Structure 1
Amino acid sequence: MSNVTVQADGLRQVLRLPQIIALYIGSVVGSGILLIPGMAAEAAGPASILAWLAMSLLVVPMAVTMGLLASKYPSAGGVSHFARLAFGPQYGSLVGWFFYLSVPLGAPVLAVTGSQYLAVLLDLSHDQLYALAAVMLLLPIVVNVFGLKLAGGVQTAVIAMIIAILLLAIFAAIPHQSAERFTPFVPHGWFSVAQAAGLLFWCFIGWEAVTHLSSEFVNPERDAIRGVLWSAGIVALLYFSVAYFTIATGSYGGAASAASLSMMVQLSLGQAGGWAVALAALFICFAGPNAYVSAASRIAYSLAREGAAPKVFGFVSPKFGTPTGGLLFIAAGSFVTLGLMYSGVITLSQLIQWPNATFVATYLAGCLAGVKLLKGSKLGRPAAIISFACTLCLYPFLGWSALYPPAIAVVVWLIGRRGKRKA
C-alpha cells in the first residue's frame, strides 16, 4: 500500500526535506552569481564583502517569512497572492505588475551576461557580443510562443551546473588568493557598501518561487521552515565564498567584472576552464529568461482578464494557445532595452538596478503581507517585521532606480481609474 498522501485538490504529498532544500536553492541561486560578485567588488572594493555578509543575515528572516507564507497560503500566485489576501485585489495586481515590468529589463541583462562570458574567450567585438545577446533574448520568446517549456530534468541539470561552477571557481581560486588584495579596504567610501548591498538583492530573490509547491510537501508545517533555514545557510555560504575569492584573487575590474567566475576558474584551469564556465553561463542565462518570460506572459494574461491591464495583453494565440499579447510586449520592451545598452545610453551595471528595484518592492509587499497574515505565528510575525524593516532601510540605496516601482504604481492607478470611468 502506498504511503503517499493525496490532497483534496488531487496533488500528492511527495516532497521531503532533501527535495525541498534542493528546490529552494535552485530558485535562489541563479544567473546573478555570474555577474554580481565582480560588479559589487568593483563598486565598493574589498568592503563589498561586508555587504554580502549583511545580505546573508537579512535573507534568513526573509526566507522564514516566505516559507511560512508558502506553507499557510499555498498558491501559484506567490507574493501577489499574499498581498491580495492581506490588502485586497488592487495590491495583488500591483505586485503582479512589479514582476511583469521587471522582465523587459531583466531578460536583456541575462542575455548580455551570458554573451559576455563567451566574449571574454573569443574576444568578440561590441557588435558581435550584442548580436549573440539578441539571439539569446529572442530564443526564449520564440520558445514560449510555441508553448514549449524546458523539461524539469533540464532545469534540474541547470541548477546542478550552477552549483558545480561555483564549487569549481572556489577551489580553483584557493591557491591564488592574497591578503594584499584587501587593501585599501574601503576605496570608495562606506556609502558604496550600502549601494552594493542594494545591488546584491538580485542574487537573493526567489524564496517565493516554491510557494506553489508547498501543498505537495509531506510535512509542510515542519519542513517548510527547516527547508528554508538549510537552504538559506547553503546559499549564503556559496555566495560569500565566491565573493571572498573574487576579491582575494583580484578577479574583477573593467570587463573582468562581468565574467569574474570565468577569470577565477582560468587561474588554475586555463582556457579549458573558461570554456566550461562560458558554455554553462549561456545555458544558465537562457534558462532564467525562459522561466521568467513564461511566468510574466501569464501574469499579463491574468491582469488583462481582471481588468487591471490593457485587453491586448490577454490575447491568446488560437493556434498555440499561448498568451501572445503579453509576450509581444515583453519582446518589444526587451529589444528596446537591448538597443539602449548597445548604443551606450545605459550600462549593464546601471540597468540591473531597475528590475532589482521591483524585486525589492515585491519583497517589501510580501513581508508587509506577512506581518498581517502571520499574526498568530511566534516565529513568522517577528521574521516578517525584521525583513520588512531591513528591506525598507535598503530601499533608499537603490538610487534613481528606487523611483521605478512608484512609477509603475502611478501607471497602474491611472489604468484602473480609466477602467472605472469606462465601466
Structure 2
Amino acid sequence: MAELKKEITLLSGIGQMSTTLLGTGLFMVPAIAAGIAGEHSLWSWLVLLIAICPVALTFAMLGKQYPSAGGTAFFVRKAFSQRLEKSIAWLFLSVIPVGVPAAVTMGAGFLQPILPESMNHPLVAQVITVILLMVVNLSGAKVSGQVQTVIALSIVTLVASFWWFGDVSVSEITMPAVVSSDWFAIGTALSVMFWCFVGIEAFAHMGEEFKSPERDFPIAIIVGCLVAGVVYWACSVVVLKFHAYGTAEFDSGSIPYLANLLYGPKVQLLITLIGFATCFASINLYTQSLSRMLWAQARDYMPTSRLAELSGNGVPSYATLAVGAMLLLSCFIGEISQLDLEFFLKLANGVFVLIYLMAMLSACKLLTGTPKVLAYLSLVICVIMMACVGWSMLYALVLFAVLVYRIKPDQNTQSSDVPAI
C-alpha cells in the first residue's frame, strides 16, 4: 500500500500549525475584538487560549495514537464505523467549493495591488494564488513546511518590531481590571475570536507525514497554538496602544496602519507581501489537508483510482490537482456570479465546528485516563461553539444527515454506494 513520505520535522510542524491559525485573522481579528471589548479584549485572548487548550491537547493525543492522512474521519472510523467515517470525509471535502475559495479571495486581495497593471484583476490574482498553492503542494510536505516556517518567523518578527518601535511599556501590557458588567463584552469578543483557532482539525491530516509522529505531532499542535495565541495577544496590545480599532477601515487595515505609523510608507510593499504570505500559509495547509483526505479515501476504498497514486516524491499529486481544479472552478463561479463569499465562509465554519465535535466524540471513546477527561471537557466546549455559530450550523447538520443516510452501513471497500470521487 502506498505511503506518504515522512518529511515533517518538529520545527516545520510548529511553523505549519502557527501560520495556519494566524492566517487572515492577524490582519482583522485583534482590531475587531478591540472594537467590541476595548482593553478587555486582552482577557478575551487569555480565556480563548485556555478554552482551546483542551481541544488542542485532545487532537494531539488522537494524532499521537492514530497518525493518519484521514484525520478526523480516521478517528471516527476507529471509534464508530466506516459509515460515519465516509460521512465526515465528504463533509470535510465539502468546504472546497465554499470555504477555501473565500480564503483564496482574501489572500489574492493582498496580491492584486502589487501585480502589473495589465494583470491587476481579482480573478487573475486568485488564479496566481491557486497556481502557487499547487507548486508548493506538489513539491512535497518538506518544502511546504519550510515555506510556512519562514512565514511564521516573518510574522513573529513583524509583531515583535511593533513592540520595539512602538515602545510598549510594562504598564501597557498589564491586564485591565474586570467587573461583572465587562464579561458580556469579553464573551461577545470571544465569539468572533474563536475562528482564529480553526485549523487544528486540518493539521490532524498531516500526522502521517511526521518523521516521529508519536513525539513531534502533539508538541507541534500545542506549541503552534501557544505561538499563535501569544502573537495575537501581543498584536492586540499594540492595536490598543495606538487606538487602531473602532472603525470599518481598522477592522481590515489595522496592521498596515500601524506599519505606516511606526515605519513610514516605505514598508507598505513589505506589509503587503507579509499579508499575502500569512493568508497563503493558512490556505496552503487546508489544500494539503483536503488533498490528503481525498487520497486517503481513495487509498482505502478505491485503490485502483488515480487519486490513490503518489508521485515520485511521495505527494498525492492527482488528489492535489483535483483540489486545485475545484478551487479554480469555484473562483471563476464566484467572480462571475458575485456570490457573497462571507456567507459561504460562515457555512464552512459550521462544517469545521461539526468536525471538531465528531473528533471529540471519537476521543471520548478512544482515549483513556486524563486524556479522556480532557476529551469530555472539549466536547462541552464544542457544543458551546455550535450554539455560538447559530444558523450557520444548519448547512453542516443537514449535509451530514444526508451523507449518513446516503452511505449504507453494509458497504464493502469497493461499494458503489460510496459517492463518486
Give your verdict on TM over 0.5: yes
Structure 2 counterpart of 1:406, one-letter code: L
**Aligned partner of residue 105 in structure 1, secondary structure:** coil
Alpha-carbon distance in structure 2 between the residues aligned to 1:284 and 1:15: 21
* Residue 384, structure 1, aligned to residue 375, structure 2: yes
Counterpart in the other structure of 1:271: 265
Structure 1 counterpart of 2:354, one-letter code: A
Q: Indicate which of 156, 168, 173 corresponds to 1:163.
A: 156
* Residue 399, structure 1, aligned to residue 406, structure 2: no
Alpha-carbon distance in structure 1 between the residues aligned to 2:24 and 2:397: 26
Q: Percent identity?
A: 21
Asked whether the equivalents of residues 293 and 330 of structure 1 are also in contact (C-alpha less than 8 Å), the reply is no
Superposed displacement of residue 357, structure 1: 2.2
Q: Indicate which of 307, 315, 318 corresponds to 1:322.
A: 318
Q: Which moved more, 1:288-297 or 1:50-59?
A: 288-297
Alpha-carbon distance in structure 2 between the residues aligned to 1:287 and 1:265: 21
Asked whether the equivalents of residues 70 and 292 of structure 2 are also in contact (C-alpha less than 8 Å), the reply is no
**Residue deviations 1:266-313 (CA, integer Å, cap 9, x gap):** 2211222332121122233334334423432342354467679xx999
Structural mapping, 1:331-342, within 5 Å: 331-339=328-336
Counterpart in the other structure of 1:280: 274
Distance 1:190 1:352, change over 3 A: farther
Structure 1 counterpart of 2:327, one-letter code: I
Asked whether the equivalents of residues 13 and 218 of structure 1 are also in contact (C-alpha less than 8 Å), the reply is no
Alpha-carbon distance in structure 1 between the residues aligned to 2:156 and 2:388: 30
Counterpart in the other structure of 1:258: 252
Asked whether the equivalents of residues 194 and 397 of structure 1 are also in contact (C-alpha less than 8 Å), the reply is no
Superposed displacement of residue 246, structure 1: 2.4
Alpha-carbon distance in structure 1 between the residues aligned to 2:98 and 2:325: 14
Counterpart in the other structure of 2:350: 357
* Residue 412, structure 1, aligned to residue 412, structure 2: no
Alpha-carbon distance in structure 2 between the residues aligned to 1:232 and 1:315: 32
Alpha-carbon distance in structure 1 between the residues aligned to 2:340 and 2:266: 32
**Residue deviations 1:316-357 (CA, integer Å, cap 9, x gap):** 899x961344543333234334556xx4x5264x55433222
Structural mapping, 1:10-409, within 5 Å: 24-26=17-19, 28-42=21-35, 47-117=40-110, 130-131=122-123, 133-140=125-132, 143=135, 147-149=138-140, 151-152=143-144, 153-174=146-167, 194=187, 196-207=189-200, 209=203, 212=207, 216-217=211-212, 220=215, 228-252=221-245, 253-303=247-297, 322-323=318-319, 324-339=321-336, 343=338, 345-346=339-340, 348=342, 350-375=343-368, 377-378=369-370, 380-409=371-400
Structure 1 counterpart of 2:392, one-letter code: S
Paired residues in the alignment total 395
Alpha-carbon distance in structure 2 between the residues aligned to 1:404 and 1:353: 10
Taking only aligned residues, the RMSD between alpha carbons, in angstroms, comes to: 4.5
Distance 1:140 1:233, change over 3 A: closer
Asked whether the equivalents of residues 55 and 197 of structure 1 are also in contact (C-alpha less than 8 Å), the reply is yes
Distance 1:108 1:237, change over 3 A: same
- 5+ residue gaps, structure 1, are 1-8
Distance 1:128 1:218, change over 3 A: closer
Structure 1 counterpart of 2:272, one-letter code: A
